[in-house]
Chain A
Amino acid sequence: MTSAEDAVAPEPAARGRQRLRRPGRSRAAYAFVLPLLAIFAAFYAWPALNTVLSSGFEWGLINPWRLTEPGSWEFVGLGNYSETLGSESFWNAVVNTTIWLVFFPLLVTGVSLIVSILIWFAGRGLAPLLFRTAFILPMTISLAAVGVIWGFIYNPDPDFGLLNAVVGALDLDFEIDWGPLHLQTGQWLSDLGSLDLGFTELRLTNLSLIAPAVWAFIGFGVITFTAGLTSVDQDLIDAARVDGARLRHVIRYVLIPQLRGSLVIVAVVSVIFALRTFDIVYVLTDGGPGSDTEVLALLLFKQAFVFLDEPDAGLATTVAVLLSLVLVAGAYPYLRRLLEGTPR
């Protein structure tokens, strides 16, 4: 550490000196980046390239397609893409993923915004810190464990599943049919109900899977919004209050505009999360019952790794490519922000 301390207090002569010019291109730079780039090239770039190229072939993992001998399987061009885009299981997964894509970011952003503002109003001290910790804590839990834990809560047996015990004790169980909407309590993971949109039917059981994900992911929003709120000028709030502004006006016209940047981050990151979702679905329902809760990431996994005797890996790669394209497009504003920090 001594050398660092020396460096922190540079010689007066050096401190007075004008800023040195940046050195030119440095040979050493390549040595610094090489280890990481080599690993990145071998275990990211190369397999990703393989994924894209092999999506032009019909192949299965029993005898995998290889770039070195591409002719071992039949080249189908864009055939896998047209087959995927024409398949029922793909569109079923798209519908389920869309439910995630709508509800997950909305719930994460909304709930964590409300929670963060409430805690911010509670001020500083031990209690607000503990509140914040309670919401951040589930973020450290693996989604596989989140699935297991919520499996207990959702258990249909009212002597074991907490949710059904509470619903039973408070006499809250119901079954409703409002036109296209069918909703019922009790069988949380097998049949929560459905909403008929005419062109497609939404399986509401997906919502039972979204809830644990929201529970686990709120912490990210709380951290991000809290950081945004620390920069809010307290005098501004006081001035507004003195002028007789109502609380909801303060929130609407003072706090929310300050949080615009944080809102974009939370929304985009939760969109990314929703599109990638796999673990919770895999653990809680494995896409069932039937394929009611099968999302794109799970469909791809099953095509490639579960039904090994069918050469569907090519189809799985097309799903991976399409998913990645949608993600990069959807996350574009976030990517832009990330790249604004590009070093010179």
Chain B
Amino acid sequence: MRGPGRSRASMLALYGGLTALSLLWLVPVASAFMISVLPQEQSRDGWWSFDLSDLTFGNYERAWNEGLSDYVLNSFVITTLAVLLTVATGVLAAYAFARLRFRLKRSTYFLLITTMIVPVQIILIPMLPWFKTLGFEEGGLQYVGIVLVHTAFGAGWAIFMLSSFISEIPDEIIDAARVDGAGDWGIFRRVVLPLTVPGIVSFAIIDFVFVWNDLLLALTLLGRDYQPITVGLANLQSPNLAQQDIVAAGSIIAILPPLLLFALLNRLYVRGLFAGGLKG
């Protein structure tokens, strides 16, 4: 036991206080959940005084059938493609930044890192005309467009995190492979890539959460049929103020995928954020 924990009473107070605070912290999510599993009449008459027999999944069914399924599908398409492309291009580039020498390395590194700080607004406004020029403004190509923008914006984080993981690989391992006659590509594929898997997973989770949760880019760049769940929620929120049951169910659905990922891979997620926050 640490610090003040010498006396049993103070430890009890500490644990009691932390338990209360943790529960308080979960109240907003719990209340949205309760509203989502109660019939509207019940939740509008004080959802905290509910009857267990009233619990229903009907709201989820209605939310799902009233268009949320499309939003969720779009979210999955956009997020999966963006994470895959960012990881693939990111890990290649990170290897070069961590292990190889080339011209203009420092200045390109600097440029990429600024994406971690400069707000997305700096590219937002001319983006729509640029998409029109490239033919990305209609149909399924919209997915391609937003995935590329997410990749460009994930570039800084990708390079920063992945190259720090790659530089942790001991020089001896790389040198040994070089002695064995492996070229840059061989070293990357057979040595660096397998050893970087945990780092890649950490980064992929963070990037998944980031892309899944994006509202602004999707709101401005995508047409109605290609928007993800975040935009769906914002759309549901305003005109249907009376449909709190559906909105609540939608918010829980939107929360679930990143939350499950977090629950399953908690350690890697936290580790990735450690790397991002602390190595810097």
Chain A, interface size category, equals 35 or more
| Complex Cα spacing A144 to B227, Å | 14
Cross-chain contact B274 with A43 (CB below 8 angstroms): no
| Complex Cα spacing A28 to B92, Å | 11
Say which residue of B14, B17, B45, B250 sits within 8 Å of A159 (CB atoms). B45
Cross-chain contact B25 with A215 (CB below 8 angstroms): yes
Cross-chain contact A144 with B22 (CB below 8 angstroms): no
A-B CB pair tally, cutoff 8 Å: 370
Cross-chain contact A304 with B47 (CB below 8 angstroms): no
Interface size on B, residues (CB 8 A): 130
A300 at the interface (CB under 8 A from B): yes
Give the residue among A1, A32, A283, A328 with the most B Cβ atoms within 10 A: A32
A82 at the interface (CB under 8 A from B): no
Cross-chain contact B234 with A14 (CB below 8 angstroms): no
Cross-chain contact A15 with B160 (CB below 8 angstroms): no
| Complex Cα spacing A122 to B1, Å | 7
| Complex Cα spacing A148 to B261, Å | 21
Cross-chain contact B128 with A61 (CB below 8 angstroms): yes
| Complex Cα spacing A36 to B103, Å | 16
Cross-chain contact B266 with A133 (CB below 8 angstroms): yes
Cross-chain contact B22 with A134 (CB below 8 angstroms): yes
Contact with B along A251-294 (1 / 0, CB 8 A): 00000000001100100010010011011001100100000000
Contact with B along A180-201 (1 / 0, CB 8 A): 0000000000000000000000
Cross-chain contact A138 with B25 (CB below 8 angstroms): yes
- Partner-contacting stretch, out of A4-12, A87-95, A100-108, A202-210: A4-12
Cross-chain contact B179 with A45 (CB below 8 angstroms): no
For residue B159, give the distance in angstroms from its CB to the closest CB of chain A.
Answer: 8
Q: 8 Å CB contacts to A: which residues of B89-122?
A: 89-90, 92-93, 95-98, 100-103, 105-106, 108-122
Cross-chain contact A29 with B195 (CB below 8 angstroms): no
A131 at the interface (CB under 8 A from B): yes
B73 at the interface (CB under 8 A from A): no
Cross-chain contact A283 with B237 (CB below 8 angstroms): yes
- Smallest CB-CB separation from A219: which chain B residue? B273
Contact with B along A105-148 (1 / 0, CB 8 A): 00000000001001111110001101101111110111111111
| Complex Cα spacing A297 to B120, Å | 10
Cross-chain contact B148 with A39 (CB below 8 angstroms): yes
Chain B residues with Cβ below 8 Å from A307 are none
Cross-chain contact A144 with B129 (CB below 8 angstroms): no
Cross-chain contact A50 with B130 (CB below 8 angstroms): yes
A170 at the interface (CB under 8 A from B): no
Chain A residues with Cβ below 8 Å from B2 are 120-121, 123, 234, 237
For residue B211, give the distance in angstroms from its CB to the closest CB of chain A.
Answer: 10
B39 at the interface (CB under 8 A from A): no
A99 at the interface (CB under 8 A from B): no
Say which residue of B101, B220, B248, B274 sits within 8 Å of A22 (CB atoms). B101
Say which residue of A150, A152, A320 sits within 8 Å of B244 (CB atoms). A152
Cross-chain contact B158 with A36 (CB below 8 angstroms): yes
Q: Say yes or no: A48-B122 contact (C-beta < 8 A), given A33-B92, A127-B15, A338-B113.
A: yes
Q: Which 7 pairs, one residue from A and one from B, show the smallest C-beta to C-beta distance?
A: A142-B213, A10-B176, A64-B129, A32-B96, A134-B22, A29-B102, A50-B126
16 A-B pairs whose Cβ atoms sit less than 8 Å apart in the complex: A11-B176, A15-B176, A28-B100, A32-B92, A32-B188, A33-B108, A39-B148, A47-B126, A51-B122, A162-B48, A165-B46, A218-B25, A227-B274, A283-B233, A338-B113, A342-B106
